[in-house]
Chains A and B, each alone.
Chain A
Amino acid sequence: MANYQQTAGQGGLAFELRSLKPARGFVTVVISTLMLIVVCAIFAPSAISAGGLAGSLPFAAIIAIVGLGQMLVVQQGGFDLSLAGGVSLAVVITTHMSGGSDAQLFSSIAFALACAVVAGVVNGILVGVLRLNAIVATIGMNALLYGAVFAVSGGVPRITTPLMAQIAGGKTLGIPNSVLFALVIMLIVSFVLKKTVIGRRFEAIGANPAAAHAAGLKVQLYQAMAYVFAQLHYCVAGILISGITREPTAFQGDSLLLPSVAVVVLAGTSLLGGRGFPISTVIAAFFLNQLSQFALAVGVPFSAQTIIQALALVFGIGVYSLRWKQAATKRALKSKMEETDNV
């Protein structure tokens, strides 16, 4: 037990450098995406042509936004099945309540956001405060949200206002607006998570709620807020869908649930909670969407695409779970050592 004095103190610079080392998930996602782009360029140039991207990127943007929302919940060790209902409700509110008139658009958007907050708060209370299992609570909330979807729409699709189509479907400087929305949301989420007190505590609570509680943090509040902000993400995604898709159905959210979880996992966020990777999540959304485009372009039938997605998911989880396994065994070893002997 010598040299106890040789400690921190020296070299803040070294620490700075070390901290710049990107997360392994980021590297994995970026390399996979680059490889996919190269493969596309060789075998299916149409999938990465300007025209092809303009058509597909808005959908990647939607997956990215719901993925960021799901990520917040997953960071708290939860799982949000009410995503489908949340997105669908936002879609039908913006299409039906506005009644096709631009004048009503913003009031209906405001109403959609208010509904999202209510749904998020109820989820948050059920999971954070009343300690219901996240899956059970969000299954219930999903059904309630779909009840609202039918109350608003009667289950029939409707066309949005021209203004919404212009906002969500338009382009600025050649980039689809929906992509800009996704990027702005990503920057906000990254900044809040990594550079603010709230975000850092949010990640700490997700990684070990018991330790955070013992240190006096308001664990329940943070856990509940994850659901509120997640619903806001879903709501924004739903509003954008109502502008991008010509005639969105009442079940628009259903097809987004699985991709949302897939991109979170592919980005390296552990389903057990903890650190989140917003930028990787957005890249993973692009990757997943591009994978479908590629499959489509080389003539894989639409039906087989989900199989490719499943394989990508298994591969992604496989890569990370090895890492989790290492961490888990390390932890188990330490705790065993602890329990067996107070060395």
Chain B
Amino acid sequence: MAKVAVMKLVETEPLNSAPEAAPTIRLSNITKVFSGVVALSDVSVDIHPGEVHAILGENGAGKSTLMNIISGVLQPESGVIEFNGEVISPMTPERAAALGVSVSYQHPAVLDDLSVLENLRVALPDRVFAAGNPAEIARAMLDDVGLHVPLNARADSLTVAQKHLLEIAKALATRPPVLILDEPTAALDQDATEMLFARIRSIVAQGTAVIYITHRLAELRQIAHRVTVLRDGQYAGGALVRDVTDDDLLAMIVGRSLASAFPPKSDDANPETNFIVNGLSGRKFHDINFAIGRGQIIGIAGVEGNGQSGVMRALAGLEPWKGDVRLKGVPLSAAEVKAKSAYMPSDRHEEGIIADLTVRENATFSALDQFSTLGILSRRKELGEVSRVFGSLSVKTPGLDTGILSLSGGNQQKVVMARALMSRPGFILADEPTQGVDVGARFEIYRILREVSQSGTPVIVNSSDAAELEGLCDVVIVMSRGRVAETLRGEDVTEGRIVAAAVKAQSHVAGVGEATKAAKSAASGLRQFIQSDNATVVPLAAVVVLLGLYVFGQNANYLSAFNISNILLLATALGFIALGQTVALLMGGIDLSVGPLAGFLVVVASFFINDGQSAQTIALGFALMFLAALAVGTINGCLIRFANFTPIAATLAMYIGLQGLSFVLRDGPGGYINFAVMDTIGWKLGPLPVAFLVLVVVALLAEYVLRKRRLGWQFRAVGSHEESARRMGIRVNLVIIGGYIAVSLFTALGAVMLMVQIGVGDPAQGVNYTLASITAVVLGGTSLRGGRGTFIGTVMGAVLLTEVLNAVSFLGLSQTYQYVFQGALILAAALIYSTARRQAGT
């Protein structure tokens, strides 16, 4: 885009394009429409093997849509996709993967809760690691792209740049015939970029077809053989890179003069200053100074991630800051800054709009005070004001009480603007105001911002689009590494100057180097363990032992063989059920039905596993217990995945239903359990119940699977970030339904122990295990957010909980304490763990 950047290029390696081979991929007449907006219109492209084919274009030109059509994520409305001459219809992500299309996404599909090595192993097929020691193979992959981080570092400790490199390493690892790189260098510094280009050249030499999506003209000369330019979803031109000049390319990209479409700038040469920022510093930016005159719009520019959004969020009062902010000469406190600002977030879907509310509600929720007397709203006033503002902003909506999602992106953004204006702000912060906005609405937004500025309200715009800043702003500050690298005014506000200032300062992106060091020190033994999921085991063991000794000091019978085995036996039932609950929480769900299920299974058993029954009948009883568990788990999983129930709703309904079933089968205790069976299951080695040892072994096995097997990684991947897991090709539905079946089967094991404990089919028993199991799992240190957990910790949690409840009676305390200890324990554990995680996160 920027000529200046292009001039800097010295990379002139002769690009010996391979002789015209048959294209690997041929796209013919592709058209893609998103709810009425044409994203791609009749685009045809050939991708040849052994070439880097660059797709060039502005934001919104249709580059990523094209990529998603090739990778099967989106289906085109019309057009043909051919692979090695064969027509593929329809293209799906699975089909694309089978054909060897490998994608490095602009937003890396990296799972924060997994380690670097686990991220690679869960995303890549086993054959990649079959050749030798997986760690060494992974190390080589990372070295290939110049990513030097410990393999066991958790991915959330990586910087954005490092995550990009990891994403690229994954894409390269399968040696794919087709590699798609979507803006791979956006977060990379010079060295990393060079390294990446070297890799691309070597795989291209081996015959891979590379599709390289970028909006940087500069990189094109370095790496690409062929280029296709898209503009507003149309094919704007294509050529061999060596045959085309930069000027030609620029003309293809821009296509028209933008200048005429922007509203005229402020013509006041020396306006009165109405907004001053002096020495503003925050977490990711330092010593920012600028001043805005009446009628002026100030722009913030720079390569993404250099502190721009931090400045915006600080001025919106969303991040802490230090410094001096003056509005019309009056210094503002932090609270005043928050109250006076109106912030239009860059991520409209996350922070801008409320999807479930109507257009009107979205427009007014921050300005409601104006339509109310004593806190009570006047509907008339509200409608009047909304209609007025929508009229002046030309918001196109079928009605004020339609859902916000039925509007186009541009109109949604105008609703966000309407909200900002209605709150009568002191100043307006527009963060990427035209992202996801169609061209027509874009210029409406420029006009509105200009009008707001002319009416005397300072306007600050952050944009990654230098052309937009050139057209819109009177003053532009260019940021680099959290500081103002250059301030451009008047005639100097040109796309070229902006990009040059950003790139010149850009010789080294902050982050990669530092973070490598940080991650390395984190890797050192002890610290690594403290940050691992199993770190809770040590303090838990200490608490279990200390509590035991304390109660022993008060009452010597506490540590008698009888009591120890009693505690462990009780803990075994809870432990198995809690192991199941751990699986549910690891997947980011929850299973409320485990308690009633355990009770129900005991009731089922009480019809078969009785004294005097034949061995076959008893075996049938056990089989029925596990079959019933299997059925319950399947129903839970299917309700959640296919009927779209939340885990709470599905398992709550199951909870109520199972409780009812238990009472249908038995209206009171009855059906004594076979003594021989109870004796066998309750068998002890000294004070140690064998069943408890089985629990420990099962927990260790589960822990091994969780850490070292693909199945375990998949569970954690799904719980960590479902969308990324899906993109990696994990069959999310299958994993989650399987997970809920596992929960129920673990519960069935717990039910066997419960059966031994109570010895009779009692429909009222078992229900308490739902809350107890969640308590045990939380004590053990598994996060309810999913993705992180420990089976060993869960067993410790179950032991601790049982021990505490048991200790109360030995200390001669009333039942009050049993409850108080239980409550205090879970709250203390949750608070300690969440604090620890937060600290580890920063």
Contacts and interface: CB of A to CB of B under 8 A. Distances in A.
A associates with B: yes
Interface of A: 1, 3-9, 12, 14-16, 18-19, 79, 81, 126, 130-133, 135-137, 139-151, 154-155, 195-198, 200-201, 203-204, 207-208, 210-217, 258, 261-262, 265, 270-272, 274-275, 301-311, 313-314, 317-318, 321-322, 324-325, 327-328, 330-331, 333-343
B163 to A, nearest CB: 16
Given A18-B401, A313-B652, A5 B351 contact: no
A7 B834 contact: no
Given A137-B830, A140-B826, A195-B377, A341 B39 contact: yes
Interface stretch (B295-303, B352-360, B493-501, B702-710): B352-360
A341 B64 contact: yes
B447 to A, nearest CB: 11
B778 interface: yes
14 contacts: A136-B774, A137-B830, A139-B771, A155-B815, A196-B375, A197-B376, A197-B377, A200-B364, A274-B356, A275-B356, A307-B656, A307-B660, A327-B405, A342-B436
A11 to B, nearest CB: 9
Nearest to A315: B653
Contacts of A343: 34, 37, 39, 60, 62, 65, 233, 409, 436, 438
B387 interface: yes
A211 B653 contact: no
Given A150-B814, A196-B377, A216-B339, A211 B834 contact: no
Interface string B660-672: 1101100100000
Contacts, number: 308
Given A201-B365, A215-B419, A307-B657, A261 B386 contact: no
B824 interface: yes
A328 B644 contact: yes
A131 B834 contact: yes
Interface residues of B, number: 116
Contacts of B350: 210-211
A207 B436 contact: no
Given A18-B401, A136-B778, A275-B356, A258 B831 contact: no
B664 A15 contact: no
Given A148-B816, A195-B377, 15 more contacts: A1-B440, A8-B386, A136-B784, A143-B826, A208-B354, A210-B351, A212-B365, A303-B660, A303-B763, A305-B660, A306-B663, A313-B652, A313-B653, A337-B39, A341-B65
A120 B611 CA distance: 51
B489 interface: no
B436 A338 contact: yes
Interface string B332-350: 0000001101010100111
Interface string B799-823: 0000000000000001111111011
Contacts of B444: 4
Contacts of A331: 349, 355, 405
B526 interface: no
Interface stretch (B124-132, B139-147, B392-400, B551-559): B392-400
A interface majority secondary structure: helix
A107 B348 CA distance: 51
B654 interface: yes
A217 to B, nearest CB: 7
Interface in B168-202: none
Nearest to B412: A334
Nearest to A126: B827
Contacts of B383: 12, 15-16
A338 B64 CA distance: 10
List of 9 A-B pairs having minimum Cβ-Cβ separation, nearest first = A1-B440, A143-B823, A303-B663, A306-B660, A310-B657, A307-B660, A147-B820, A8-B390, A140-B827
Contacts of A139: 771, 774-775, 823, 826
A196 B376 CA distance: 4
B64 A340 contact: yes
Given A135-B784, A137-B830, A271 B395 contact: no
A303 B666 CA distance: 9
A204 B778 CA distance: 31
A341 B656 contact: no
A145 B816 CA distance: 9
Contacts of B401: 15, 18-19
Contact of B390 (A1, A7, A143, A317): A7
Contact of B351 (A214, A318, A322): A214
Nearest to B822: A143
B830 A136 contact: yes
Nearest to A9: B391
Contacts of A336: 73-74
Contacts of B339: 216
Contact of B396 (A7, A132, A270, A307): A7
Given A301-B664, A334-B405, A343-B436, A211 B354 contact: yes
A307 B664 contact: yes
Contacts of A203: 357, 361
Contact of A215 (B365, B391, B824): B365
Contacts of A150: 814-816, 819
A197 B369 contact: yes
A334 B343 contact: no
B643 interface: yes
A6 B391 CA distance: 9
Interface string B757-787: 0000001000000010011001000001100
Contacts of A140: 823-827, 830
Contact of B338 (A195, A196, A204, A216): A216
Given A216-B339, A334-B349, A8 B377 contact: no
Contact of A142 (B74, B438, B646, B823): B823
Contacts of A8: 386-387, 390-391, 395, 397, 400
A215 B815 contact: no
Interface centre among A130, A154, A274, A341 (most CB of B within 10 A): A341
B435 interface: yes
A204 B361 contact: yes
Interface in B659-687: 659-661, 663-664, 667
A142 B399 CA distance: 45
A342 B436 CA distance: 4
Contacts of B349: 331, 334-335, 338
Nearest to B182: A340
Nearest to B348: A338
Nearest to A274: B356
B316 interface: yes
A321 B394 CA distance: 35
Interface centre among B316, B372, B383, B830 (most CB of A within 10 A): B830
Contacts of A339: 64, 107
Given A8-B390, A216-B338, A327 B830 contact: no
Contacts of A321: 643-645, 649
B522 to A, nearest CB: 24
B774 A135 contact: yes
B317 interface: yes
Contact of A317 (B338, B394, B653, B831): B653
Contacts of B92: none
B823 A133 contact: no
B778 A307 contact: no
Interface string B615-639: 0000000000000000000000001
